[in-house]
Amino acid sequence: MDSEDKPTRLRRAAPGILAAFLSLALLEGVSRVALPLVNTPLSEHILAPRVLVDRHRAGIRAFLDGDGGVSLPDTLLGWRYRPGYAEAGDTINEQGLRASRAYAPDPEPGVLRLAGFGDSFVYCAEVANPDCWAARSERAGEVEVMNYGVGGYGTDQAFLRYLREGGELHADIVIIGFAPTNLGRIVNRYRGFISSSEGPWMKPRFQFEDGTDQLRLIPTPLRSYDDAQQMLESREALLAVGEGDWWYESTIYTGILYRWSAAARLATGVWIRLKRRMLDPGRLYDGGVFNTESEAFELQRAVGLAFADSVRADGAEPIFLVFPSREDVAAARGGGDPSYGPLTEAWRSAGLEVLDPLAGLREHPGPVEELFAPAGHYSPAGNAIVAARVSELVDQYRPGPDPGL
């Protein structure tokens, strides 16, 4: 039987308890210092829940009040660009297209009409209108290119915009733009879950019907001002958007320890990073290329095929246009494969044409940095290479002289 009384045992344990307390305090202090210093992709996941939710809520309010700059709310697509917007060489016409002029309902006789749908790479963010691949691909009296690109769009949103507006285009070719970042957007409903620095954008997404390959649309959570009011007033309403969003991490928003401990937030951020890159079977990438076993890959493939089917049903030719990332170009110069290779192979295997300017980007004589603008979109030089690839396509499809003339 232990002969020591309780006070004696406590005195013996006190140094260990004090050391543990000081160690935890030191860890917490170091974590609080480290949080602002970690890299951006990790820091997106380590803000306190209250800060995240408040930031999201404030962004939603500004967006709905019309303070979203070029972006306007859209009950089908999530957002769209403001017709008539113009700033520093960045012009959107009254039809909501990136252009300095309006397009007639029908192309002139003998003019090949292309229409491009997609995200900011299709739109040509960070360059002026004349430097955009679409404007560079036009030929007066021969070829016109209608630019339906919208920054931040996933392929699902581009598809839905085509379904709403594409039937009246009378296009000969519909270009379906794809950038590698689109893979993550196909399984996302609220961009704030991807990154707290993103805009307050909510979007629709597709899912597969249970046990089938049929696509089912989940509408954007922000379909009315009543929806918005609930999200502005109720933290739970905003977090409910996380259902069906691959990027949503409940621990960030609901975990008690995460709420109060900087060390817990730092550790959670590291864990999320590790899980998404290596441990999750549904991770977006595997060995540097798209993970063909992921839901995102299967959805991206299926939405692309559905998009192409709709274009063909309208009597036009669907063409996928890939916009390789900076990392893809750098890898290609070192003899590596592009991250999106499995996806383009799947589309080609389905009988679809894919334009890939990677060879031209790889062979550009200057450094990779010359091809990209500061935020990662294509520079004028990068857009020129894309336009050259599109021009090769145009030469295959451009109508010949009218035999009646």
- H-only helix segments in 35-101: 40-43, 49-64
pLDDT digits (tens, 9 = 90+) for 348-389: 999 999 999 999 999 999 999 999 999 999 999 999 999 999
Residues 210 and 258 in one domain: yes
Residue 18 is part of which domain span?
8-37
pTM for the whole thing? 0.85
| Domain annotation covers residue 2 | no
pLDDT band of residue 148 (cuts 50, 70, 90) is very high
Residues 75 and 153 in one domain: yes
- The pLDDT score that the predictor gives to residue 21 is 54
Cβ neighbours of 34 (radius 10 Å) = 13
Range with the lowest mean pLDDT among 72-86, 137-151, 256-270, 314-328?
Answer: 256-270
| Domain annotation covers residue 404 | no
Return d(Cα 224, Cα 221) in angstroms, integer.
9
Distance between start and end Cα atoms, the chain: 114
Cβ neighbours of 148 (radius 10 Å) = 27
Residues 45 and 20 in one domain: no
| Domain annotation covers residue 224 | yes
Locate 93 and state its tokens. Answer: 């016409």
Identify the CA nearest to 84 among candidates 100, 73, 68.
100
| Domain annotation covers residue 405 | no
Return d(Cα 162, Cα 164) in angstroms, integer.
5
- The pLDDT score that the predictor gives to residue 219 is 93
CATH number of the CATH domain containing 388: 3.40.50.1110
Crossing angle (nearest 10°) for helices 6-34 and 262-274: 60
Return d(Cα 116, Cα 174) in angstroms, integer.
6
Structural domains of the chain, count: 2
Residues 325 and 280 in one domain: yes
pLDDT band of residue 31 (cuts 50, 70, 90) is low
pLDDT digits (tens, 9 = 90+) for 301-350: 999 999 999 999 999 999 999 999 999 999 999 999 999 999 999 999 99
Identify the CA nearest to 110 among candidates 140, 144, 142.
142
Residues 22 and 99 in one domain: no
Residues 19 and 101 in one domain: no
| Domain annotation covers residue 53 | yes
Cβ neighbours of 214 (radius 10 Å) = 12
Residues 18 and 159 in one domain: no
The average pLDDT across 130-151 equals: 95
- The pLDDT score that the predictor gives to residue 385 is 98
| Domain annotation covers residue 25 | yes
Residues 111 and 214 in one domain: yes
Crossing angle (nearest 10°) for helices 295-313 and 155-165: 20
Cβ neighbours of 77 (radius 10 Å) = 18
Q: For residues 114 and 171, is the Cβ–Cβ distance under 8 A? A: yes
Return d(Cα 38, Cα 42) in angstroms, integer.
7
Residues 26 and 45 in one domain: no
Q: Which of residues 306 and 169 earns the better pLDDT score?
A: 306
| Domain annotation covers residue 3 | no
Whether residue 10 is predicted with pLDDT greater than 60 in this model: the reply is no
Locate 12 and state its tokens. Answer: 């013996």
pLDDT band of residue 47 (cuts 50, 70, 90) is low
Q: What is the CA radius of gyration of the chain?
A: 25
Residues 67 and 27 in one domain: no
Residues 24 and 60 in one domain: no
Sorted by sequence, the CB contacts under 8 Å of residue 343 that are 6+ apart come out as 178, 183, 290, 297, 300, 301, 304
- The torsion defined by the Cα of 95, 99, 104 and 110, in degrees rounded to 10, comes to -150
Residues 57 and 27 in one domain: no
Whether residue 168 is predicted with pLDDT greater than 80 in this model: the reply is yes
| Domain annotation covers residue 12 | yes
The average pLDDT across 133-159 equals: 96
